[in-house]
Structure 1
Amino acid sequence: MALQAPEGTKDLLPDEAKFWNTFKQTAADVFGRYGYLPIETPMFEQTELFVRGIGEATDVVSKEMFQAISGENMKKLLAGESIKSKSRLSLRPEGTAGVVRAVVQHDLVPQGAAPVKLMYAGPMFRAERPQKGRYRQFNQVGVECLGAEAPTTDAEVIIMLMRFFTAIGIPAQSMRLLVNSMGCEKCRPAYRELVRAYMEDRRADLCDECMHRAEINPLRAFDCKNPTCSAVMDGAPKITDYLCDDCKEHYSAVKSYLDAASIDYVEDARLVRGLDYYTRTVFEVQVVDGLGSQNAIGGGGRYDKLAEEVGGRPTSGLGFALGYERCVLALQAAGVEFAPAARCDFFLACVDETTRQTAFGLLQMARDAGFIGEMDHQSRSLKSQFKLADKLGARMVVILGPDELAEGKIKVRNMATRREALVDLETAKGVLARFGGQPYGDQSALRLEEVFPVEE
């Protein structure tokens, strides 16, 4: 039996791979307007980074991380030997911890410096049960802003996220923005104890996993998908009733800026997100149709203590991540389809082998001038070459025959109108040569019709 992709992974075939590139470029365009610059971090980090940063009680750390280990260290473990902490590695389950580690390691926010704004895009890994829209290797796009405390930053990041979703084509009416505040180190500890006491009084109605969470971080119980547990937690104390004055003021300001920008939102006191590092503002964007219960397509929040957790100086932080695969499902539910990846400006057809060398050289010139061109490499008949050109969606077919070349001409056919014309070969080469000397990506907007004129 032929080997297949591992369970919980998928291949991005050309049409979707092209859309993934468009997705990332759209993110770079939208986020770039707000001053965000790209960063690339390793796909694996020391396991301790995620334990300290994300939280040992989270499902991500306790259940879902893939360990990465060398063959030599595996032998040591099997032999009952210990390995160094720096050799205990895990594939990244999310992007924030690694970016914050990089910011701390390279001192990207020196004391008193302006905030650093960073964006990333790439694969993450979680050992979850595969299901629709949820893979073990999945793609995320995210941003992190380190060194900014003002509520304007929170509002700006939320607005930027909504702008991105609109830019990729998800209808505004199909999305719902949830916001909440998780308080800070001054007010949250007392609230956690209230929730823990509430859960203890209802131990018989909660699952064992929730009660285990109650010992480490009772707020995790708000994430439980068990319907009975969810109903019990609906009656738990609401964190917004126990915020300190500073957190109340911050949360109120964030909402006022969202109101000023005409951003619709719903306050959800149960929204805690899935990671322990969040403080104050948290938010999540859900789609109304197309994803079932797993309807979140992106979200994030403030994490003002995370830099300290990974060994840095106190540095406020804020960010979000959005799931590419979830967004694709939301787009499909909205009736948006991928544009075909295959695109061909022109096809060079050789009447016989005597014209192939000239065709090959002309093809390279056209590509250097910015066009997408193809030719036959399998000695097909001229009829078969036209079929291939049609399959590739070529707008024009340039036919090189020995008789025409002897006169310094080439025949050009417009595949839409079926009109044909003889074009002077040296003139076409001259036009291509003028534009082909520029760096790739800098070519002028040269039109194919200027090189191979067919219509009068």
Structure 2
Amino acid sequence: MAQLSVKKVKKELTKKMDKKTVKTQVAARKPLKAKQSVEEEIMLQPPRGMRDLLPGDQPYWDQIRRVLARISLEYGFGRIDTPAIEYANLFIRSIGAGTDIVDKEMYIFNTKGGDKVSLRPELTAGIGRAYIQHGMNVLPKPVKLFSTGPVYRYDRPQEGRYREHFQANFDAFGEQDPILDAQLIQLAHRVVTSLGIKNIQFQVNSIGCPKCRKEYQNLLVAYFESKKQKLCQNCKKRLETNPMRILDCKEDKCVQVSTTAPQSVDHLCMECRVHFKSLLEYLDELDLPYIINPRLVRGLSYYTKTVFEIWSNDEEGKRHSFGGGGRYDYLMEQLGGEHTPAIGFGLGMDRLVAEMKRVHAKMYIEPKPRVFLAQLGDLAKKKSLNVFAELQKNGILTAESFGRGSLKSQLRVADRLGVEITLIIGQKEALDKTVIVKDMVSGTQETVGHDRLILAVKKILKNNVVISHSEE
């Protein structure tokens, strides 16, 4: 089939546009028919507990992303991204039945194919699944993986806590030496302080291994059984399903009862005791700010030995948690893999943004365009697209206002942006394949051909940098 000429296609399009205009005018005269059915009203807001991240907040998020990318590279972590949806039993088995996350907070649903799936409530289980599935156990140890992304928990929304929130995860597989625990705590410290958040403290604890934890849990159950009437309703249930979580309850009466409860560090086996002692010595050597919190257990059942959290204090003494983590030496076995000691932690990116705002931390400042491209007339507008693309391709950040018609309104935009060069293409320039180059600093201007434009712009920008440095 012979190809239609571009000229013929344009002619046909013009005819159709004219016919469409006539039909629209006729339709406008006809009375409107009543709607057959009432449509459901669109809620112009996201679901409860979720929100938009608007352009005004993005500099904070960009700063976090840049810091995470740089430090993950420095510490030898490779990027991994896993699906936001996994089979539900992955989280039920790893996080543990009886935890608040599994019992109350997971978004579980069936797909049209009948699969029971869940939005991920945390990142580690998915990363562990990927580690096993893709045979990463054959890689040199430790295998260090870094990830960021949204996680979902049907929790009560409050300040700094959303049902969709964003998390950064660092996980290291295949090493049981406590020096790795110390290195990850040092890494967490490095990330948070690099964001301008200085007043922080780590809370650390050891909850032992399955061997010594069994004896400790029996002591804990016996203690809380004797105080059962003083516990909140949730903790009475936890006494049957997950007694260690009682230590983490925030209810005042449960906090008071937990104050005199047996402490896990007093009931560690020799191996766990040596491991925790070595960790504390490493932290002292690194001069990291920490305290031992005997009530710290974390909310996930897969943790063993080391657990820790990162906290900040404001001027009024209020504490803000940015995240935490710990060892999970038996998680890979629970998921069907081979025994793999591992440790990891997560940082709540939403809370980091909130804290950066509170302490007036430095935001990422995006580079501003130094050149503005203005055009006048239809032909100039068409030609300016190629000019704009050529400037960007050569690394010259350029602003434009293609939608505005008058040259005056475009120049007002250029003035507001404070650019150093304004490029102008009018009807004559479009025909001559030239561009007017106006130096906004010196006030001079010249007309150059397209083949010399990039060189002319770079020369002016370079001279302006030299002038500004000499003035300083």
Q: Which amino acid aligns with 2:350?
A: E
SS of the residue 2:92 aligns to:
helix
Does the alignment pair 1:221 with 2:249?
A: no
> Which range moves more in the overlay, 397-406 or 115-124?
397-406
Does the alignment pair 1:55 with 2:96?
A: yes
Partners of 1:302 and 1:270 in 2: CA distance: 17
Per-residue deviation, residues 216-267 of structure 1 (Å, max 9, x unmatched) = 2211011211111111111111111111111111111111111111212111
- Quote the residue 1:20 is aligned against: 61
Q: Which amino acid aligns with 2:123?
A: G
**Do the aligned partners of 2:245 and 2:299 also contact (CA within 8 Å) in 1?**
yes
Partners of 2:250 and 2:266 in 1: CA distance: 24
Deviation at 1:284, TM superposition (A): 0.5
Larger Rg: 2
Partners of 2:318 and 2:236 in 1: CA distance: 23
Among the aligned pairs, what percent are the same residue?
35
2:154 to 127, 152, 157: 127
Q: How does 1:62-77 map to 2 (within 5 A)?
A: 62-71=103-112, 73=114
1:141 to 157, 168, 172: 168
**Do the aligned partners of 1:54 and 1:61 also contact (CA within 8 Å) in 2?**
yes
1:432 to 1:234, Cα distance in 2 relative to 1, 3 A: farther
- Quote the residue 2:23 is aligned against: none
1:393 to 1:247, Cα distance in 2 relative to 1, 3 A: farther
> Which range moves more in the overlay, 17-26 or 64-73?
17-26
Deviation at 1:343, TM superposition (A): 3.6
Per-residue deviation, residues 137-183 of structure 1 (Å, max 9, x unmatched) = 11000111110110111001110111111122212xx2111111111
Report the number of matched residues: 426
SS of the residue 1:14 aligns to:
coil
Deviation at 1:10, TM superposition (A): 1.1
Q: Which amino acid aligns with 2:266?
A: D
SS of the residue 1:190 aligns to:
helix
> Which range moves more in the overlay, 24-33 or 352-361?
352-361
1:411 to 430, 437, 458: 437
Deviation at 1:393, TM superposition (A): 5.3
Q: How does 1:439-454 map to 2 (within 5 A)?
A: 449-450=461-462
Q: How does 1:296-311 map to 2 (within 5 A)?
A: 296-311=321-336
Pairwise CA RMSD: 2.7
Unmatched 5+ residue regions in structure 2? Answer: 1-41
2:207 to 170, 182, 185: 182
- Quote the residue 2:195 is aligned against: 168
Does the alignment pair 1:99 with 2:123?
A: no
SS of the residue 2:182 aligns to:
helix
The TM-score with structure 1 as length reference comes to: 0.86
SS of the residue 1:377 aligns to:
coil
1:155 to 1:413, Cα distance in 2 relative to 1, 3 A: same
Does the alignment pair 1:314 with 2:339?
A: yes
Deviation at 1:424, TM superposition (A): 2.9
SS of the residue 1:348 aligns to:
strand
Per-residue deviation, residues 58-97 of structure 1 (Å, max 9, x unmatched) = 1111100001322464xxxxxxxxxxxxx11111000001
Does the alignment pair 1:367 with 2:392?
A: yes
Partners of 2:205 and 2:316 in 1: CA distance: 22
- Quote the residue 2:73 is aligned against: 32
The TM-score with structure 2 as length reference comes to: 0.83
Partners of 2:117 and 2:323 in 1: CA distance: 26
- Quote the residue 1:154 is aligned against: 181
SS of the residue 1:186 aligns to:
helix
1:357 to 1:72, Cα distance in 2 relative to 1, 3 A: closer
Deviation at 1:35, TM superposition (A): 1.1
Deviation at 1:115, TM superposition (A): 1.9
**Do the aligned partners of 2:376 and 2:405 also contact (CA within 8 Å) in 1?**
no
SS of the residue 2:155 aligns to:
coil
**Do the aligned partners of 1:342 and 1:392 also contact (CA within 8 Å) in 2?**
no
